[in-house]
Amino acid sequence: MYDLIIKNAKIPQGDETVMTNILVLEEKIAGFVDSTHGAQAKEVIDAEGHLVFPGFMDSHTHIMYHGFGHRENWVTGSAAAVRGGISTIIDMPCCTVPSTRTVKQLELKIDIANAQTVVDYGLWGGVTGEDVREGWMHNVQEQADFGVVAFKVYMTPSVPTYPRVTDPEMLECFKEVAKTGLPIGIHAENFAMCDFYVKKFQADGRMDGPAWSEARNELAEKVAIELGISFAEATGARLHIVHMSTGIGAKLIGEAKKRGINATSESCPHYLTLNYQDAMTKHGACAKIAPPIRTSGDNEEHWEGLRNGSIDFMATDHAPYELESEKTSEGTTIWNAFPGIPGTETMAPIIISEGLNKGRLSLSRTVEVLATNAAKHYGLYPKKGAMMVGSDADFAIVDLSKEWTIDPKTQASMCGYTPLEGMKLKGRIIKTIIRGTLVFDDAQEGVLPTLTDAELDKIVHNFP
């Protein structure tokens, strides 16, 4: 007696697909069979011949619980994730007060997350210039021992609770993280350049949206990535460029890989689809993120990077804010609005619509950039990111033909805005299953409310 059978599942095998039935027992994939004749299960979900992917992974989210009560929390954030076919997120350490850079903070974060999340999650560890200066570097190994999957470093600060590093402090972080064998993800923008040109543009009286992208320019990211590559080469650390925004960045990471340097990168949906001139003009603060949106040329270079492997996988940098208080209130300008946009709900649909369906990405590459590669990179594979016998029974069922339009009013995120608003897509998540439990069903506009307490309990408490 299986717990679940997913019937008529078309599953990816390389660039091919195969029609099969997926057996689930005790939260794991128990098998694939061409016929369910004779097999019994407590529950049957009929995929009706749609593509069934391994559950997607968003390895870069900012759930902003304690200290930021009016922002995205684990309830709204995880609901948004599963609506996007995401079965695992990996959350950043920066958006709490205090930030999550010790075992004590990690324990506190897990307590809060476990009580609220409907999506499985892993955690980023943190290390800052303050840790270097104060002699707190022992926290690095302790966080690693506790189970974080990577460490985040900010060259340019995004939130006041998480101090940036100077160049030598970053080098010290690389040395320390290298010992753990875990990746070190850097927010790669040259601080002094960002600071200087933002102030210069402010002094010049620029108040338009595009000013944000022009002030935090491509060169600031380029030289930051070059510095990261040199530090990775010098220390042996596993450099990862989080939310890389520029095409030149993809080129640099691709070249570094060829030279044998352990360097990886991620793109985000907005860096594949939006150009700053249009998006910042139209959406202003609601399209404000850091690094900023770039040009159409960068969009194309990122698609190319996804194809040729210089970009390893997708993530979202999901960081939505309360629209009224932080984006549109009286006195809010492009300079003081908080940078951040939602992402989890639309990442996979965009890759499927604009990548797979338009022929930019092959099927196997689609699986890699949405699921497999991040899972491998963060040590969660093949429990996550794989569709093997024994893997967690996490799935995203996708209707490749369904056309729809992005509308923030129908999203689960608390924020109510997205610069992708109005984008027409072809391909939609119709069901998300985590460890054998259906957590999102498009037909029912979400299924969480319908789950029993026991069912809900089964899909939380799962810090990998």
Stretch that binds Zn ion, among 182-190, 223-231, 335-343, 390-398 (CB under 5 A): 182-190
Q: Which does 388 bind (CB under 5 to 8 A by kind): Zn ion, its own copies, none?
A: its own copies
**Could you tell me which of 227, 314, 233 has the C-alpha nearest to residue 272?**
314
Q: Which does 227 bind (CB under 5 to 8 A by kind): its own copies, Zn ion, none?
A: its own copies
Give the shortest CB-171-to-its own copies separation in angstroms. 7
Q: How far is CA 7 from CA 36, 437, 459, in A?
A: 8, 15, 22
Whole-angstrom Cα distance, residue 12 to residue 448? 27
Q: Helical H runs in 240-393?
A: 247-258, 269-273, 276-283, 296-308, 323, 347-350, 363-367, 373-377
Q: Which two tokens stand for residue 382?
A: 């093949």
Q: Which does 438 bind (CB under 5 to 8 A by kind): its own copies, Zn ion, none?
A: none
Give the shortest CB-315-to-Zn ion separation in angstroms. 9
Residue type, 211: A
List of residues contacting its own copies (CB under 8 A): 11, 13-14, 16, 18-21, 23, 25, 28-35, 38-40, 166-169, 171, 190, 192-193, 195-197, 219, 222-223, 226-227, 230-231, 234, 381-382, 386, 388-390
Give the shortest CB-13-to-Zn ion separation in angstroms. 32
Tell me if residue 146 falls in helix, strand or coil. helix
Whole-angstrom Cα distance, residue 60 to residue 371? 13
Task: Kindly determine how many residues on this chain lie close enough to bind Zn ion according to the rule CB under 5 A.
Answer: 2
Whole-angstrom Cα distance, residue 69 to residue 439? 25
Give the shortest CB-245-to-its own copies separation in angstroms. 16
Give the shortest CB-252-to-its own copies separation in angstroms. 10
Residue showing the smallest CB distance to Zn ion in the complex: 187
Q: How far is CA 20 from CA 123, 439, 441, in A?
A: 34, 22, 21
Phi-psi region of 254 (alpha: psi -120 to 50; beta: other; left: phi over 0): alpha
Give the shortest CB-447-to-its own copies separation in angstroms. 26
In terms of Cβ atoms closer than 10 Å to its own Cβ (0-12, 13-18, 19+), residue 348 is buried
Tell me if residue 67 falls in helix, strand or coil. coil
Give the shortest CB-133-to-Zn ion separation in angstroms. 21
Question: Quick check: 238 binds Zn ion (CB under 5 A)?
Answer: no
By CB under 5 A, name the one of 172, 298, 312, 317 that touches Zn ion: 317
Q: Which two tokens stand for residue 27?
A: 């939260």
Give the shortest CB-314-to-its own copies separation in angstroms. 20
Residue number, 187 or 428, with CB nearest to Zn ion: 187
Give the shortest CB-347-to-its own copies separation in angstroms. 23
Whole-angstrom Cα distance, residue 159 to residue 356? 35
Residue number, 166 or 275, with CB nearest to its own copies: 166
Residue number, 164 or 187, with CB nearest to Zn ion: 187
Stretch that binds Zn ion, among 126-134, 173-181, 316-324, 365-373 (CB under 5 A): 316-324
**Could you tell me which of 285, 291, 249 has the C-alpha nearest to residue 270?**
291
Whole-angstrom Cα distance, residue 414 to residue 354? 26
Whole-angstrom Cα distance, residue 180 to residue 381? 18
Tell me if residue 395 falls in helix, strand or coil. strand
Whole-angstrom Cα distance, residue 8 to residue 21? 6
With the C-alpha atoms ordered 109, 325, 283, 412, is the resulting torsion angle positive or negative? positive
Q: Which does 167 bind (CB under 5 to 8 A by kind): Zn ion, its own copies, none?
A: its own copies
Residue number, 252 or 315, with CB nearest to Zn ion: 315
Residue number, 196 or 422, with CB nearest to its own copies: 196
Residue number, 348 or 387, with CB nearest to its own copies: 387
Q: How far is CA 357 from CA 134, 273, 360, 400, in A?
A: 51, 15, 8, 8
Stretch that binds Zn ion, among 17-25, 66-74, 118-126, 312-320 (CB under 5 A): 312-320
Q: Which does 187 bind (CB under 5 to 8 A by kind): its own copies, Zn ion, none?
A: Zn ion
Give the shortest CB-66-to-Zn ion separation in angstroms. 18
Question: Quick check: 152 binds Zn ion (CB under 5 A)?
Answer: no
Q: Which does 297 bind (CB under 5 to 8 A by kind): Zn ion, its own copies, none?
A: none
Question: Quick check: 187 binds Zn ion (CB under 5 A)?
Answer: yes
Q: Which two tokens stand for residue 46?
A: 């009929």
> Residue numbers of the site for Zn ion (CB under 5 A)?
187, 317
